[in-house]
C-alpha cells in the first residue's frame, strides 16, 4: 500500500480483486488520506474475501459446492442475488451469474483454438439463472452449476467504498478499482477528475481520449487482448449464456458514465451483450458512453 | 396511616394539581435537560445514599437494590 | 420489459442499484452516533472529627447498546479507617473492653466516649441491564456484590417502568433481594452477654485465628412509584417502598453500658442485641422545577419501621446556572429521627435485662443537618468536572433526663461533625 | 379521593382513550411554514413523495436520524422524494446551533408554537409521516431506530415506483 503526494491531492494505491486499486483524495494531510485509504482498502478486501469465487472459505464456495442442497445466505449476499436476479430480467437472460462454467472450455489467448461445439453443448444444461431456486434467504443451485459475482463484485466494491468515504469526509475523492471508478464531487478548483480511457488495442499503455467527471460512476466492459481469431472471424470474450458462444459483433470495449459505478458497469456489460445493437441500446439509456469497435 | 401522614399526602397532591394542562411532546425541551432528570448526578446520589445509610437509621425511598455494607 | 434496442431500463436499474447500496449500507455499518458512552469517575472523602474517615473512589459506566438499551456498571472501592463509638458512654473511670472472643482488648481514658479503632477495605460491583419492551415499557435487571474483610453481600434487583399518556406519567415497580453475611473479627458476640463474663480462650486456639464463623441476614425490598410531568417546567415523583430484613441484624462491635442504679457509674457492659427482623416503610416525594435558567430539586421522605423509628427527611438542591455550562449548586438536607424502642444510652444493673437493647447512636433520637456547595465546570464539548464540599452535623440529647448520678457530668450523645468532599469527572463520548 | 387526585385519574383515563386516526388514506392537513430561505408549503409539493419529520435540537434520537435522512434525500432526489424536517424548538438559535453540528441536506421548516405538530397529533419526538404523491399519509412512525429505518426506506421506494 503506497501513498503519493500529487498536484492538489493524495493518491493511495493497493491491490485487491486481482487488479490495481487507487484512491485519490483532495484532503490536506497524509494522515487523513491514509485513513480514507485504509477504509476503502478494508472494504475492497472484505468484499473480495466474501464474494471471490477463487476462495474456499466464503459463501460463494459454499453455494458452488452445495450439490443441489439449499443454502441459507446472509443479508448482503441476498441483496447481491436480488440484484443479479433483477439484472437477469432486465437483460432478458443475457446477464447471468451462472455462466461462469463456460470458462472451462473457452480460453481467449489470441490463438485460433475454438472449443468443440459438443463440449460447449455439454455445459449448457449447467447454465441458466432460471434453473436456480432463489427464495430469500434460501438459494438452491442444481448440482454442477456455479455462480460468479465477477460481473458485479468490483463495481459493488467501488460504490460501497465510496459510500463509506462519503460518510467520513466532505472533500472530493476518486475511487478506481481496476478501471471501475467513482468520483464523489467537483474538486476545489470546481473542475472534475480527469479519467483516461484505455485504448483497447494497447491496454494499459495508452489512452484514447480523456473524460472529465465531477460526480458519478464510470465502468468499462471489454478487454481487447482476450479474443480468438479463426478464419478471419474475431471471437470476443463476452459469451452469451443462452448459446454458450461469444456474442457476435460485440464491440471491443464500452465505457459508460452513470450515477453509480454499478449502474455504469451493468449498462456497459448489457451493451456488450447486445453485440451489434450495443450503440442503439446505449442511445436509448441516455447515458454518457463511449464504444470502441 | 397516622393522621399527620394523610395531611402530608393531601398537601402534596394539592400542590401538583395546579397546572395539569397537557404537555405536548414538543414542549419537553426543558424536561429533556440533564439537570432536570430525577437523579441528575448518579455518583453524588449513590455516595450520599451510602453516607446516610450508614450514619442514620432511616434509608431507601428513592430506589431499591444496591449492596449493603457493614458500615460502622 | 421487452428489451428491444431502444427501451430505457435505466430507471429500473437505478432503483435496483439503490436497493442494493441503500439497505446494504445500513446493515454493515452501524451509524456511529455520539453519546453512546458515559463514564463517571469520582472520589468521596468523608471524615468525621476524630472518628472515622472514608475515602471512596467510584467508577460508573453507562453504555448505550441499542435503542433504549443500556448497560450500567458501578465499581466502588471503600477504605475506612479511624475510630467508631462502640456504644458505651463516657464515665468517671477509665474503661477497658474485650472483643467477643476475648482475644483483643482496648481501653478508654476516664471522661471520654469509648471508641474502637478499625480499618477496612471494601470492593463492590453492580451491573445493570436496561431493556425496552415496546415503546411504553422498560425493564431493568441488576446484580450486585460487595466484599470486605468481615462482611459480604450479594443481591439482585429488577425494576419495571411503564409509561402512560405519551410518557407524561410513568409507573415504576421494583423488587430486590440481598443476602449479607457478616464474620466479625473477634468473633460473633452473644447478644446481651456481659463483657465481664467473656473468658479469654486458652492460647492454643491462637493460631487457629480469630474468626469463629459468622452470621447472615437477607433483605427483600419492594417499591412502587409514579413519576408525573406536571408542566413544561415541572415534574414530580412519589414512591412508596417497603423492605423486610431478617437474620443477624446486630452490630457485632457495639456494646451498651451497664450502670449502677444510684451512682450512675459504669459497672459493666453488654453486647448489644437487636430484633432479628425489621420491616421498613417509606413515602418519598420529589419535585423538580425549572426556573428561567436555574433548577430546583426538592425531596421529602417519611420513614417508619417496626423498630419504632420514624424519620422526616427534607433535601433541597438549587442549581445556579453560571456562564456557559458551569453551575453552582448549594445543597441543604435535614433529617430528624425518633429512637428505636430498644435504644437506651445505658442500662441499670439492677433492672431486669431487656430482650433487646442497643446504644448505637444511629438508632437514637437524632437530627442530621447537612449544608454544602457543588461547583460544576464543563470540560471539552460534552464532559464535565465537579467539586462538592459539604458539612454534616449529627446531634442528639447529650444530657437526657433519665441520666443517673455521674452520668449527668458527661455528654451521653456527643455531636458528630463530618466533612464531605467529592470530585467527579463525567465523560461522554 | 381528593379533588386533585380525581383530576389526575381523569387525566390518566383520557390518555388511554386517545387513538390516532387510521394512518392510511387520511389526507394530511396542508401547512405553510417559514423555511431556512423560503416558505415551505406542503401543497406546493403535491405530486412528490414527502417525508415529514418533526424534530427538535434537544431530542437525542433526532440527532441520529439526520445522517440517514440526508442519505435518503440524496439518493431518491431524482425519483421525486422530498424530505421536510419541521423544527419545533422554541428559539431559532437552538436549531441553528444544532444544524451547525448536524447538517441537514434537506428542507427545514420552523414551527415554534407547534401548530402543525398539533394538527398532525405528534405523539413523540421525533415523529415522521410518509405522504404519497396524492397527499395521503401512508406510514407514520415515532422515534428513530436503525432497524426500522430500513423498512421505512423500502416503503418510500414502493411509493416512488408507482407513478
Cβ neighbours of C12 in A, within 8 Å: 86, 90
Are the C-beta atoms of residues C391 and C418 closer than 8 Å to each other? yes
Residues 6+ apart with CB under 8 A from C200: C98, C102, C103
Question: DSSP characters for A10-66?
Answer: EEEEEEETTEEEEEEE--SSHHHHHHHHHHHHHHHHHHHHHH-TT-SSSHHHHHHTS
Query: What pLDDT is attached to residue A64?
Result: 92
Per CB-CB distance under 8 Å, the chain C contacts of D71 are 22, 25
Interface mutation vs chain C, best among B67, B69, B71, most C CBs within 10 Å: B67
Q: What was the pLDDT predicted at A203?
A: 53
Three-class DSSP category at B32: coil
Q: D61 CB near a chain B CB, below 8 Å?
A: no
Query: Is residue C233 one of the residues assigned to a domain?
Result: yes
Please determine, for residue B17, whether its predicted confidence score (pLDDT) is greater than 70: no
* b/e map C82-116, b = 16+ CB within 10 Å: ebbbbbbbbbeeebebbbbbebeeeebeeeebbbb
What backbone phi and psi angles, to 5 degrees, belong to C25?
Answer: -65, -40
**Are C226 and C238 in contact, with CB atoms under 8 Å apart?**
yes
Question: Average of pLDDT values for D148-152?
Answer: 78
Which residue in the set C3, C8, C23 is minimally distant from A92, CB to CB?
Answer: C3
Query: Which CATH number covers residue C356?
Result: 2.40.160.40
| DSSP one-letter string for D10-73 | HHHHHHHH--PPPSTTEEPPP-EE-BSSS-EESGGGTTSEEEEEEE-TT-HHHHHHHHHHHHHH
* Chain A: partners with 3+ C-beta pairs within 8 Å: C
Q: Is the pLDDT of residue B6 over 80?
A: no
Do C198 and C186 touch, CB atoms closer than 8 A?
no
Residue D18's CB is within 10 A of a number of other CB atoms, namely 11
- Whether C176 contacts C157, CB under 8 Å: yes
pLDDT value for D29: 85
Number of structural domains (chain C) is 1
CB atoms within 10 A of CB A38: 14
Would the pLDDT of B52 be above 50? yes
The cell numbers describing A183, all together, are 468520483
Give yes or no for C325 touching B (CB within 8 A): no
Using a CB-CB distance cutoff of 8 angstroms, which residues of chain C are in contact with residue D9?
none
A145 pLDDT tier (thresholds 50, 70, 90): very high
Whole-angstrom distance, CA of residue B34 vs CA of residue D60: 12
Inspect the interface and report whether the beta carbons of D146 and C67 lie closer than 8 Å: yes
Mean pLDDT for all residues in chain D: 81
- What does DSSP assign to residue D158? H
CB-nearest to C26 from D11, D15, D146 is D146
Name the nearest CA neighbour of A221 among A269, A173, A262.
Answer: A269
Task: Give me the residue label for grid cell 487457629.
Answer: C208
In DSSP terms, which residues pair with D27 in a beta bridge?
D136
Chain segment D5-46, per-residue pLDDT in tens: 444 443 343 333 334 444 445 678 889 999 998 899 999 998
The per-residue pLDDT for C188 is 87
| Look-up of cell digits 473457452 | A106
For residue A83, the model assigns a pLDDT of 92
CATH class for the region spanning A59-148: mainly alpha
Identify the pLDDT of residue D50.
95
- Contacts of residue B24 in chain D, CB cutoff 8 Å? 114, 117-118, 122
What pLDDT is stored for residue C282 in this prediction?
96
Yes or no, beta carbons of D117 and B16 under 8 Å apart: no
Spell out which residues of chain B touch residue C144, defining contact as CB-CB under 8 Å: 65-67
Spatial contact of D56 and D87, defined as CB atoms under 8 Å apart:
yes
The interface predicted TM-score (ipTM) is 0.64
Question: Could you tell me the CA-to-CA distances from C354 to C253, C270, C350 in Å, in that order?
Answer: 19, 11, 12
As a whole number of angstroms, the distance between CA C121 and CA C124 comes to: 10
**Does the beta carbon of C302 lie under 8 angstroms from any beta carbon of chain B?**
yes
CA gap A43, C163 in Å, rounded: 43
- The C-alpha atoms of residue C260 and residue D104 are separated, in whole angstroms, by 84
Between residues A213 and D54, which one has the greater pLDDT? D54
Q: D88 — contact with chain B (CB < 8 Å)?
A: yes
Q: How confident is the model at residue A204 (pLDDT cuts 50, 70, 90)?
A: low
What is the overall mean pLDDT for chain B?
73
CA B13 to chain centre: 15
Residue of A47, A263, A270 to mutate, testing the C interface (most C Cβ within 10 Å of its Cβ) = A263
pLDDT at position C176: 95
Instruction: Identify which of C12, C14, C28 has the shortest CB distance to residue A76.
Output: C28
What is the model's pLDDT at position C26?
Answer: 36
pLDDT band at C124 (very low <50, low <70, confident <90, very high): very high
- The grid coordinates of residue A153 equal 463484485
Q: How far apart are CA A14 and CA A45, in angstroms?
A: 10
- Residue D8: list chain B partners with CB under 8 A: 13, 16-17, 20
Q: Are A182 and A261 in contact (CB under 8 A)?
A: yes
The whole-number average pLDDT for the span C98-111 is: 81
Pairing mode of beta strands C310-321, C366-379: unpaired
Q: Write down the pLDDT at residue C36.
A: 84
Q: CA C238, CA B12: separation in Å to the nearest integer?
A: 9
- The mean pLDDT of chain C is 89
Q: Do D8 and B14 touch (CB under 8 A)?
A: no
At C178 the pLDDT is: 95
Provide the residue range defining the domain that includes C63: 33-428
Whether B72 has a pLDDT exceeding 80, the answer reads: no
- List CB contacts (< 8 A) between B70 and chain C: 120, 148, 150-151, 180, 182
C377, C408 contact by CB (below 8 A): no
Angle at C283 between CA C277 and CA C284, to 5 degrees: 120
**Band (C306; pLDDT cuts 50, 70, 90):** very high
Q: How many domains does chain D have?
A: 1
Under an 8 A CB cutoff, do D114 and B20 touch?
no
Tell me the torsion sign for CA atoms A74, A80, A83, A88: negative
Using a CB–CB cutoff of 8 Å, tell me whether C70 touches chain B: no
Residues C309-344: tens digit of each pLDDT: 999 999 999 999 998 889 999 999 999 999 999 999
Strands A253-258, A233-236: pairing kind: unpaired
CA–CA dist C360, C89 (Å, integer) = 10
CA distance C343 to chain D (A): 39
- Distance, CA of D122 to chain centre: 8
What's the pLDDT tens digit per position in C388-407? 999 999 999 999 999 999 99
Q: Is residue D11 part of a domain?
A: no
Task: List the strands of the sheet with A133-135, edge to edge.
Answer: A71-72, A138-140, A133-135
Does the domain spanning A2-52+151-292 belong to CATH 3.10.520.10?
yes
Is residue C1 domain-resident? no
CB A245 within 8 A of CB A105: no
Q: Do the chains contact at D7 and B24, CB–CB below 8 Å?
A: no
Averaged pLDDT for residues A201-228: 74
Q: Residue B69: pLDDT band by 50, 70, 90 thresholds?
A: low
Q: Under 8 Å CB-to-CB from D101, ≥6 apart: which residues?
A: none
Strands C383-395 and C416-428: antiparallel
Question: Given an 8 Å threshold on Cβ–Cβ distance, is C168 in contact with D76?
Answer: no
CB C423 within 8 A of CB C31: no
User: What is the number of other CB atoms lying within 10 angstroms of the CB of residue C206?
Assistant: 10
Omega of the bond leading into D126 within 30 degrees of 0 (cis): yes
Asked if B48 contacts C231 with a C-beta cutoff of 8 angstroms, the reply is no
The DSSP string of C230-279 is EETTEEEEEEEEEEEEEE--S-TT-EEEEE-TTT--EEEEEE-B--SEEE
Percent of residues, chain A, with pLDDT higher than 70? 95
DSSP state string for D57-113: TT-HHHHHHHHHHHHHHHHHTTTTEEEEEEE--SSHHHHHHHHHHS---SEEEE-TT
Give the distance from residue D23's alpha carbon to the nearest chain B alpha carbon, in angstroms. Answer: 19
Q: Which residue of B has its CA nearest to C294?
A: B35
Per-residue confidence (pLDDT) for residue C210, from 0 to 100: 45
CATH number at residue D108: 3.40.30.10
8 Å CB contact of B47 and C80? no
C349 vs B: CB within 8 A: no
Q: What is the mean pLDDT of residues C61-73?
A: 90
Looking at the domain assignment, is residue D135 inside a domain?
yes
Q: Is residue D3 part of a domain?
A: no
Q: How sure is the predictor about A207, in pLDDT bands with cuts at 50, 70 and 90? A: low
- pLDDT for B65 equals 58
**CB-closest option in C33, C135, C165 to D64:** C33
B–C contact: 3+ Cβ pairs < 8 A: yes
Q: Which residues of A touch C13 (CB under 8 A)?
A: 86-87, 90, 263, 266-267
The per-residue DSSP string of C393-421 comes to: EEE--SS-TT--GGGGGS-SSPPEEEEEE
Shortest alpha-carbon distance between residue C7 and chain B (Å): 50
Distance from CA of D65 to the nearest CA of C (A): 9
Whole-number Å distance between alpha carbons of A175 and A41: 10
What is the torsional sign of CA B34, C322, C233, D109? negative
In a domain, D9, yes or no: no
Asked if the structure places residue D151 within a domain, the reply is yes
* Pairwise CA distance, residues B2 & C304, whole Å: 11
Whether B30 and C290 lie within 8 Å, measured CB to CB: yes
Q: How far is CA C142 from CA A256, C168, C186, C256, in A?
A: 59, 26, 34, 38
Cα(B42)–Cα(C287) distance, integer angstroms: 17
Is there an interface between D and B (3+ Cβ pairs < 8 A)? yes
Of C8, C19, C21, which is closest to A285 when you measure between CB atoms? C8
Q: Do B26 and D122 touch (CB under 8 A)?
A: yes
Question: Is the Cβ pair B64, C176 closer than 8 Å?
Answer: yes
- State the DSSP string of chain A: -EEEE-SSSEEEEEEETTEEEEEEE--SSHHHHHHHHHHHHHHHHHHHHHH-TT-SSSHHHHHHTSTT--EE--HHHHHHHHHHHHHHHHTTTSS-TTGGGGGGT---SSS--PPPHHHHHHHGGG--GGGSEEETTEEEPPTT----THHHHHHHHHHHHHHHHHHH-SS-EEEEETTEEEEES--TTS--EEEEEE-GGGTTT-EEEEEEESEEEEEEE--TTSEEEETTEEEES-B-TTTSSBPTT--SEEEEEESSHHHHHHHHHHHHHTGGGHHHHHHHHT-EEEEE-
- Residue whose C-alpha is closest to residue B30's, from C316, C296, D103: C296
CA–chain centroid gap for D50, Å, is 10
- The answer to whether the beta carbons of residues A84 and A152 sit under 8 Å apart is yes
**Residue A171 pLDDT grade (very low, low, confident, very high; cuts 50, 70, 90):** confident
- Per-residue pLDDT of B38-50, as tens digits, reads 999 999 999 999 9
Domain layout of chain A by residue ranges: 2-52+151-292, 59-148
Average predicted confidence (pLDDT) for chain A: 87
- Considering the domain boundaries, does residue D123 fall inside one? yes
pLDDT, position C357: 96
B-chain residues near D58 (CB < 8 A): 28-29, 32-33
Locate the chain C residue with the closest alpha carbon to B16. Answer: C230
Q: What is the rounded average pLDDT of the residues C95-99?
A: 84
Tell me whether residues C67 and D145 touch, CB distance under 8 A.
yes
pLDDT, position C2 = 46
C126 contacts on B by Cβ (under 8 Å): 65-67
By the CB < 8 Å criterion, does B56 face chain D?
no
Shortest alpha-carbon distance between residue C367 and chain D (Å): 33
Q: What is the mean pLDDT of residues A83-97?
A: 91
- Nearest-by-CA chain B residue for D6: B17
Contacts of B28 in chain D (CB under 8 A): 58, 125
**CA-based nearest residue to A159, from D46, D75, D148, D31:** D75
Amino acid at each position: 500500500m503506497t501513498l503519493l503526494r500529487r498536484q492538489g491531492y493524495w493518491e493511495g494505491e493497493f491491490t485487491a480483486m486481482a487488479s490495481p486499486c487507487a484512491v485519490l483524495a483532495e484532503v490536506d494531510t497524509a494522515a487523513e488520506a491514509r485513513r480514507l485509504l485504509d477504509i476503502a482498502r478494508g472494504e475492497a478486501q472484505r468484499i473480495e474475501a466474501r464474494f471471490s469465487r477463487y476462495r474456499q472459505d466464503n459463501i460463494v464456495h459454499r453455494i458452488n459446492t452445495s450439490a443441489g442442497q439449499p443454502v441459507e445466505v446472509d443479508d448482503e449476499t441476498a441483496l447481491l442475488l436480488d440484484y443479479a436476479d433483477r439484472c437477469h430480467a432486465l437483460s432478458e437472460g443475457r446477464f447471468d451469474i451462472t455462466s461462469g462454467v463456460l470458462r472451462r472450455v473457452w480460453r481467449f489467448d489470441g490463438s485460433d483454438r475454438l472449443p468443440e461445439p459438443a463440449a460447449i453443448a455439454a455445459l449448457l444444461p449447467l447454465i441458466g439463472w432460471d434453473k436456480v431456486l432463489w427464495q430469500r434467504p434460501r438459494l438452491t443451485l442444481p448440482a454442477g452449476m456455479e455462480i460468479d459475482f465477477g460481473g458485479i463484485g468490483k463495481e459493488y466494491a467501488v460504490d460501497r467504498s465510496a459510500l463509506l468515504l462519503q460518510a467520513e469526509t466532505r472533500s472530493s475523492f476518486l475511487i478506481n478499482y481496476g478501471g471501475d471508478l467513482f468520483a464523489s464531487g467537483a474538486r476545489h478548483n470546481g473542475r472534475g477528475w480527469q479519467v483516461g480511457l484505455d485504448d483497447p488495442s494497447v491496454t494499459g499503455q495508452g489512452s484514447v481520449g480523456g473524460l472529465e467527471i465531477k460526480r458519478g460512476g464510470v465502468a468499462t466492459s471489454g478487454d481487447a487482448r482476450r479474443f480468438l481469431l479463426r478464419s478471419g472471424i474475431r471471437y470476443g470474450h463476452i459469451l452469451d449464456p443462452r448459446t454458450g458462444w461469444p456474442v457476435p459483433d460485440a464491440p471491443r470495449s464500452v465505457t459508460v458514465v452513470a450515477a453509480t459505478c454499478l449502474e455504469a458497469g451493468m449498462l456497459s456489460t448489457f451493451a456488450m451483450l447486445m453485440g451489434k445493437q450495443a450503440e442503439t441500446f446505449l442511445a436509448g439509456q441516455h447515458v454518457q458512453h463511449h464504444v470502441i469497435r | 396511616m397516622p393522621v399527620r401522614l394523610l395531611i402530608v399526602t393531601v398537601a402534596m397532591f394539592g400542590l401538583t394539581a395546579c397546572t395539569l394542562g397537557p404537555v405536548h411532546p414538543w414542549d419537553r425541551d426543558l424536561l429533556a435537560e440533564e439537570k432536570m432528570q430525577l437523579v441528575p448526578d448518579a455518583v453524588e446520589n449513590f455516595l450520599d445514599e451510602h453516607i446516610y445509610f450508614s450514619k442514620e437509621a432511616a434509608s431507601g425511598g428513592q430506589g431499591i437494590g444496591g449492596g449493603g455494607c457493614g458500615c460502622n | 420489459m421487452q428489451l428491444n434496442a431502444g427501451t430505457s431500463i435505466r430507471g429500473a436499474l437505478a432503483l435496483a442499484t439503490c436497493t442494493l447500496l441503500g439497505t446494504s449500507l445500513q446493515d454493515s455499518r452501524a451509524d456511529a452516533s455520539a453519546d453512546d458512552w458515559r463514564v463517571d469517575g469520582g472520589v468521596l472523602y468523608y471524615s468525621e472529627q476524630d472518628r472515622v474517615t472514608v475515602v471512596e473512589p467510584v467508577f460508573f459506566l453507562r453504555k448505550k447498546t441499542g435503542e433504549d438499551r443500556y448497560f450500567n456498571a458501578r465499581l466502588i472501592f471503600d477504605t475506612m479507617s479511624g475510630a467508631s463509638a462502640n456504644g458505651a458512654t463516657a464515665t468517671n473511670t477509665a474503661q477497658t473492653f474485650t472483643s467477643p472472643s476475648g482475644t483483643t482488648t482496648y481501653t478508654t481514658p476516664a471522661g471520654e466516649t469509648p471508641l474502637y479503632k478499625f480499618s477496612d477495605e471494601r470492593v463492590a460491583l453492580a451491573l445493570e441491564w436496561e431493556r425496552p419492551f415496546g415503546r411504553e415499557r422498560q425493564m431493568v435487571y441488576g446484580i450486585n456484590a460487595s466484599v470486605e474483610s468481615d462482611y459480604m453481600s450479594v443481591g439482585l434487583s429488577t425494576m419495571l417502568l411503564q409509561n402512560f399518556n405519551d410518557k407524561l406519567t410513568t409507573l415504576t415497580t421494583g423488587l430486590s433481594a440481598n443476602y449479607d453475611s457478616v464474620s466479625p473479627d473477634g468473633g460473633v458476640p452473644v447478644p446481651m452477654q456481659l463483657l465481664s463474663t467473656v473468658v479469654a480462650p486458652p492460647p492454643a486456639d491462637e493460631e487457629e485465628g480469630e474468626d469463629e464463623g459468622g452470621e447472615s441476614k437477607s433483605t427483600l425490598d419492594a417499591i412502587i412509584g409514579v413519576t408525573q410531568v406536571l408542566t413544561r417546567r415541572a415534574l414530580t415523583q412519589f414512591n412508596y417502598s417497603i423492605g423486610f430484613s431478617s437474620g443477624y441484624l446486630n452490630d457485632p462491635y457495639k456494646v451498651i453500658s451497664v450502670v449502677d442504679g444510684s451512682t450512675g457509674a459504669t459497672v459493666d457492659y453488654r453486647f448489644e442485641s437487636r430484633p432479628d427482623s425489621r420491616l421498613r416503610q417509606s413515602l418519598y416525594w420529589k419535585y423538580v422545577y425549572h426556573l428561567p435558567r436555574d433548577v430546583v430539586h426538592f425531596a421529602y421522605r417519611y420513614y417508619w419501621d417496626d423498630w419504632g423509628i420514624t424519620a422526616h427527611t427534607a433535601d433541597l438542591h438549587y442549581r445556579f446556572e453560571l456562564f456557559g455550562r458551569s453551575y453552582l449548586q448549594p445543597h441543604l438536607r435535614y433529617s430528624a429521627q425518633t429512637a428505636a424502642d430498644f435504644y437506651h444510652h445505658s442500662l441499670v444493673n439492677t433492672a431486669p435485662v431487656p430482650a433487646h437493647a442497643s446504644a448505637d447512636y444511629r438508632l437514637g433520637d437524632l437530627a442530621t443537618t447537612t449544608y454544602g456547595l457543588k461547583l460544576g465546570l464543563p470540560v471539552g464539548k460534552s464532559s464535565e468536572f465537579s467539586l462538592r464540599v459539604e458539612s454534616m452535623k449529627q446531634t442528639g440529647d447529650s444530657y437526657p433526663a433519665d441520666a443517673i448520678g455521674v452520668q449527668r457530668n458527661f455528654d451521653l450523645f456527643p455531636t458528630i461533625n463530618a466533612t464531605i468532599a467529592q470530585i467527579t469527572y463525567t465523560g461522554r463520548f | 379521593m381528593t379533588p386533585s387526585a380525581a383530576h389526575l385519574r381523569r387525566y390518566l383515563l383520557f390518555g388511554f382513550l386517545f387513538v390516532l386516526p387510521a394512518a392510511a388514506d387520511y389526507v394530511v392537513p396542508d401547512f405553510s411554514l417559514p423555511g431556512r430561505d423560503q416558505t415551505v408549503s406542503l401543497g406546493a409539493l403535491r405530486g412528490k413523495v414527502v417525508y415529514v419529520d418533526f424534530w427538535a435540537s434537544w431530542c437525542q434520537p433526532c440527532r441520529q436520524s439526520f445522517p440517514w435522512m440526508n442519505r435518503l434525500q440524496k439518493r431518491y432526489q431524482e425519483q421525486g422524494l422530498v424530505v421536510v424536517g419541521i423544527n419545533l424548538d422554541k428559539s431559532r438559535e437552538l436549531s441553528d446551533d444544532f444544524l451547525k453540528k448536524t447538517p441537514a441536506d434537506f428542507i427545514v421548516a420552523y414551527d415554534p408554537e407547534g401548530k402543525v405538530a398539533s394538527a398532525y397529533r405528534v405523539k413523540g419526538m421525533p415523529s415522521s409521516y410518509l405522504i404519497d404523491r396524492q397527499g395521503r399519509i401512508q406510514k407514520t412512525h415515532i422515534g428513530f431506530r436503525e432497524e426500522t429505518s430500513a423498512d421505512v426506506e423500502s416503503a418510500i421506494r414502493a411509493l416512488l415506483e408507482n407513478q
